[in-house]
Structure 1
Amino acid sequence: MSTIPDALPHLHGRIAPHVLLRRAIALLSRIPDSLIAFIARFSIAAVFWKSGQTKIEGLAIDLVSGEFRLGVPQLSDDALYLFREEYRLPLIPPEVAAPAAAVAEHVFPLLLLLGLATRLSAAALLAMTLTIQLFVYPDAYPTHGVWAAVLLYLMAHGPGRVSLDHWIARHCGGH
């Protein structure tokens, strides 16, 4: 015997709300994981790349604004000042932390964009996010929580099909 809601999917010529809800959920569940991963990779890479760009002089690459200034990147005086006066990380001297952050904020986002060493790159940026949250900006947990969620997704699910990781796995026997 059918239940009343299943027996009456149409109420006076209209589709019952539970049927609409089920159809909407089925439609949303068809969003490809590779699309989510691609958007996640691009978005979180942009956050860290833009931050890294504020720490250097001599090289500026911004695909969205169209700014391209090629040259030899050097750590900016402002970056050292920030790590000495505002960020003040424990155990790591500013002269080490500033260039390390500048390099990490360029290398790992680039790897994410390519989808190369994605899980490792996401883990490194998650470590940076946790450091920033715990020691630099503890009140920015809503923003850092979003970053962490994106990075954890990439760590758990990988970069998706549109990535070098996927290509390497397919062509080198990993999948």
Structure 2
Amino acid sequence: MTAISEPSSTSQAGLVGFYRRVIKLPEHIPFLLVQLAARVAVAHVFWQSAQSKLASWPVTLQLFANEYNLPFIDPSIAAPLATAAELTGSTLIFFGLFSRLAALMLLGVVSVIQIFVYPENWAEHLLWASLLLLVLTRGAGVVSVDYLVERLFRLDD
């Protein structure tokens, strides 16, 4: 009878080493690309939402009055506020200007949508909130107006 030989430790280390190298490949993606992609993606969502509101303002007012049912605020005030927040926030996030403030503002919009309007769409709202939290906690990144302004006004310590 022949004994079944186990793979040598060198071949296991080679295979395990290769696996570890492959798994760690994404760590080489520059974080600035992650930040830029997050900003562009979330800006697109809110820009499109604002554009659809503006495309048919009477329908927008009707939705705010009849479907959204926001407490404590009149629909004729809520609709322009939401639209302005989406337009302003998406533009600022896209360019990376006052991006942490814009992210905070849009997180407020997401919170209102989640709590009062469409709570059943929590997974989509969580995705938006995750991208906004990335911008809020880590900033807009190197490819942003915020970064350029910071570099321009950086004082020597």
Out of 10, 21, 27, which is 1:23 matched to? 21
Matched to 2:143, the amino acid is V
Runs of 5+ consecutive residues of structure 2 not aligned to the other structure: 1-7
Matched to 1:28, the amino acid is P
Q: In the alignment, what sits opposite 1:56?
A: 54
Matched to 2:142, the amino acid is R
Secondary structure, counterpart of 1:25 in structure 2 = helix
Out of 20, 45, 48, which is 1:47 matched to? 45
State the Cα RMSD in Å: 1.9
Return the TM-score normalized by structure 2: 0.88
Percent identity (aligned): 38
Q: CA deviation at 1:174?
A: 6.7
Matches within 5 A, 1:125-144: 125-144=106-125
Runs of 5+ consecutive residues of structure 1 not aligned to the other structure: 1-6, 58-74
Secondary structure, counterpart of 1:97 in structure 2 = helix
Secondary structure, counterpart of 2:71 in structure 1 = coil
Structure with the bigger RCO (C-alpha within 8 Å, sep 6+) is 2
List structure 1 runs of 4+ shifted beyond 3 angstroms: none
Q: CA deviation at 1:105?
A: 1.0
Structure 2 CA distance for aligned equivalents of residues 123 and 174 of structure 1: 27
Return the TM-score normalized by structure 1: 0.80
Structure 2 CA distance for aligned equivalents of residues 141 and 31 of structure 1: 29
Structure 2 CA distance for aligned equivalents of residues 174 and 77 of structure 1: 50
Q: In the alignment, what sits opposite 1:112?
A: 93
Structure with a larger share of its residues in helix? 2
The count of corresponding residues between Structure 1 and Structure 2 is: 149
1:34-77 residue CA offsets vs partner (Å, 9 max, x unmatched): 100100000000000000011114xxxxxxxxxxxxxxxxx711
